[in-house]
Structure 1
């Protein structure tokens, strides 16, 4: 089966879209960064390094310092697909990130977004 093209897409090419979506709704880049760091375990410097290197999504998640175990608490629908039902692991991680950014843009408090 052919690999989905999002796997080879650089995180840096999608990151500005996440930030723009958040900023349109009065949220900040710092909040987007906090979400990504919470999900993946990257430090701010580590995240910036991956963006500068134009790391693809598959590598970004595969090399993440520590995926947050609480990410399994992320549920809901992104693009008509329930994130908890996505079987392919990398696609599930991408959908988790999409869902968290959606929650941020919808005005959900950070402590709830980060499953605190």
Structure 2
């Protein structure tokens, strides 16, 4: 079966879109980065390296140092799908990030976004 197109898209092409989305709502790149660090275990240096290397979304998540175990607490609808019901593990990870960015853009408190 053919992989969804998003798997092969470069993270470096999607990352600026996340930033643009939240900046339109008065949020910052630093907050986007904080969400990515929390979800994936990347730090500033390793995140910038992934962007520089133009890795695919699939590679970005496959190489994530440590997916946060609290990610399973991320629930709700994104792109018309309930994230907790997405069967494909890779697609679920991608949608987790989409959902967190969406919550930030909607003004949700960072403490709640990070499931603290």
TM-score under structure 1 length normalisation: 0.99
1:28-107 alignment, distance < 5 Å: 28-107=28-107
Spell out, residue by residue over 1:32-88, the C-alpha distance to the aligned partner (whole angstroms, 9 max, x if none). Answer: 000011000001110010001001011111111000000000000001100000000
Q: 1:103: how far off?
A: 0.1
Give distance in 1, aligned partners of 2:90 and 2:40.
12
List runs of 5+ in structure 1 lacking aligned partners.
none
User: Partner residue of 2:115?
Assistant: 115
Which aligned segments of 4 or more residues in structure 1 are displaced greater than 4 angstroms? none
User: Partner residue of 1:25?
Assistant: 25
Give distance in 2, aligned partners of 1:33 and 1:95.
16
List runs of 5+ in structure 2 lacking aligned partners.
none
Give distance in 1, aligned partners of 2:68 and 2:5.
25
Taking only aligned residues, the RMSD between alpha carbons, in angstroms, comes to 0.4
How many residues align? The count is 116
